[in-house]
Structure 1
Amino acid sequence: MRRAYSVLLHRNLAAARLGGATSTAVPNRFLQTTLYGTTAGSSPSSRRWFSSILAAVVGTSLGVGGLIAASSASQEVLAKERPPSDAIPSDVILYQYEACPFCNKVKAFLDYYDIPYKVVEVNPLSKKEIKWSEYQKVPIIMVDGEQLNDSSAIIDKLGERILSKKKADSTSEDDEETKWRRWVDSHLVHVLSPNIYRNTSEALESFDYITSNGNFNFMEKISVKYAGAAAMYFVSKKLKKKYNITDERAALYESAETWVDALNGREFLGGSKPNFADLAVFGVLRPIRYLRSGKDMVEHTRIGEWYTRMEIVVGESSRIKA
């Protein structure tokens, strides 16, 4: 009942929000890894709670007819896909940067499959939390004492462990799921930085989020926020040139529309349930969803309904709080 009510609230919010949806002091390594984290927020719980409250108000304003329609839709309850208990690792530790899209990709996988995990927030300046590792990028994950590196490889390995039957024949070059997972790493992530740091106000907004959620001391927060925002503003201009982006927002919107076209009318690329490609797109977009760029993306493209479905089905984080 609680899950169905959550679906009702979120879908009312989506309908109202989208109108139908068709309608230099900072080391260089920090600049390279603050956003990306690898070579290739989740949204805070307070925002989810606020969204639910707002959704209740919106639901009331829709009237009886709107509530009946939403109630009918909520019968299709979206839920996490939990693997057999004997397939779930007993000890999972994720070394991450909170704002890293690749780290968020791994977290989307862990959250959706309800795999409990601990988080170690890595300081991107000192990286002291991963000094023990020869691999000096994030995400790094320890699974029952075994170290796994690189977001896609981590997901593949965990997928083989918990979903061996499903993933047995899903690695060919022509496989739809594989194709779109590679699109995420080779294209979608490269559109994000020019959008996040498009102008000085958006760069400051982004670094306010990064320093608020990252592992920084007080002085690092101050210096990183302002020096980092200024530096990444100029770095983003170089990235635009490198990836032949002339209009960063147009590139973001085009990528969102490309993904919606790939869905081809399906709730998810995986059909009635998300597959690894759905989780990859959702994961890398999650850090920007409530920044100006993410809000604009939802307002100006058709991706909002899919994203809301993903928020519902991925649900609450399975992270173990310290």
Structure 2
Amino acid sequence: MFPQMRRAAGLAAVRRAAGGIASADQHHRLFQAALFTSSSANSSSRSHWFSYNGIAGDKVATHAVFGTMLFSTAATAIVEEAQAKETVKFRPKDVVLYQYEACPFCNKVKAFLDYYDIPYKVVEVNPLSKKETKWSEYKKVPILMVDGVQMVDSSDIIDKLYTKVNPGAVTDSAEESEEKKWRRHVLLTLIIWVDNHLVHILSPNIYRSISEAIDSFDYITTMGNFSFMEKMSAKYVGAGAMYFISKRLKKRHNITDERAALYEAAETWVDALQGRDFLGGAKPNLADLAVFGVLKSIRYLRAGQDMVQHTRIGDWYDRMENAVGVSAGFRE
């Protein structure tokens, strides 16, 4: 695809993600922290990665003016202070992540925890019985327990963790320059692109065919402490269900060719880098972590392997793996 066509596709994606006008109350806290989050109105779509009711969600709203920005131009505007990987003062005693291995929103939380070297225990949730989270009224993933306090919804989790990892980083927006306010709004728009566009491309790719769906669930079920019968049930029943759901999602999100849509999104992201190692410049920023976390969920599945083989995103992904470092997560 020619660069001009990719940029046009990126613009269309940003327009779709940023359509509408958001209230100041909805985005005030997110705007201040410049986190990779979206409106809570979209939370229902983010957590149902293995929900057999499908993955649905309202459009996330933000300022309509962002729909007129080229993706790469917007990306250039937010290259400012990068979030350096460093030892942070926030050291909770007990962190437990309840997740699905292939869930992009769970991987987004893990990317944040890994980058900031916050140790955490991983509990793989059975996608059929969900017995591991019976204790919680919240029936989706990710669920993060931090010293006994439950956090839910990937964006809200990261929002809360960010304020603990970077105390004092959240300032009153009224005290900021207009330029910095604009940059923060642009960053929010780009992350909405991740949650409202990039994520919706993944399921049709992971479960594109019955064989790919089975391969995906075979990978997923190796990560948890499931019995043989639980593995077989999740592998074949889950794969069959998600294969048919992915077809509905493909139609819902107007995807004609799932692989082409995945490649286009990957190339759009690479174009946004404009030759930099990371969107944040010399080091990853929160947008880099968001895209990396989402794509990590498919990297070693057939769809992810194809993506790296047929697009230019592999070099950036390798740099992100090195920057994020060894996972701080562990399993018992």
> What is the TM-score of this pair, normalised by structure 1?
0.72
Cα distance in 1 for partners of 2:310, 2:124 equals 33
Give the gaps of 5 or more residues in structure 1. Answer: 1-30, 41-78
Change over 3 Å in CA distance of 1:167–1:276 after alignment to 2 = farther
The amino acid that maps onto 1:254 is E
Cα distance in 1 for partners of 2:85, 2:170 equals 15
Match of 2:203 in 1: 193
**1:137 pairs with one of 104, 117, 140:** 140
The amino acid that maps onto 2:91 is I
Aligned partners of 1:122 and 1:215 also within 8 Å: no
Please give the residue correspondences for 1:7-46 in structure 2 after superposition, counting only pairs within 5 Å.
32-34=48-50
**2:185 pairs with one of 175, 190, 210:** 175
The amino acid that maps onto 2:309 is E
- The answer as to 2:86 corresponding to 1:82 is yes
Deviation at 1:166, TM superposition (A): 4.0
Change over 3 Å in CA distance of 1:101–1:38 after alignment to 2 = farther
CA deviations 1:160-186 (Å, max 9, x no partner) are 111134454688795333222211111
Match of 2:80 in 1: none
Aligned partners of 1:38 and 1:150 also within 8 Å: no
Cα distance in 1 for partners of 2:313, 2:166 equals 28
- The answer as to 2:249 corresponding to 1:233 is no
Moved more, 167-176 or 272-281: 167-176
Cα distance in 1 for partners of 2:94, 2:221 equals 28
Cα distance in 2 for partners of 1:152, 1:141 equals 12
Change over 3 Å in CA distance of 1:239–1:173 after alignment to 2 = farther
Deviation at 1:145, TM superposition (A): 2.3
The amino acid that maps onto 1:267 is D
Please give the residue correspondences for 1:165-314 in structure 2 after superposition, counting only pairs within 5 Å.
165-168=168-171, 175-314=185-324
Change over 3 Å in CA distance of 1:127–1:173 after alignment to 2 = farther
Moved more, 166-175 or 305-314: 166-175
Give the gaps of 5 or more residues in structure 2. Answer: 1-46, 58-82, 174-179
Aligned partners of 1:177 and 1:277 also within 8 Å: yes
- SS of 1:288's equivalent in the other structure is coil
- The answer as to 2:118 corresponding to 1:115 is yes
The amino acid that maps onto 1:256 is A
Please give the residue correspondences for 1:83-102 in structure 2 after superposition, counting only pairs within 5 Å.
83-85=87-89, 87-102=90-105
Cα distance in 2 for partners of 1:32, 1:242 equals 15
Aligned partners of 2:126 and 2:234 also within 8 Å: no
Aligned partners of 2:93 and 2:147 also within 8 Å: yes
The amino acid that maps onto 1:233 is Y
Aligned partners of 1:207 and 1:229 also within 8 Å: yes
User: How many residue pairs are counted as aligned between the two chains?
Assistant: 253
- SS of 1:94's equivalent in the other structure is strand
CA deviations 1:259-299 (Å, max 9, x no partner) are 11222222111111111111111111112111111111111
- The answer as to 2:131 corresponding to 1:128 is yes
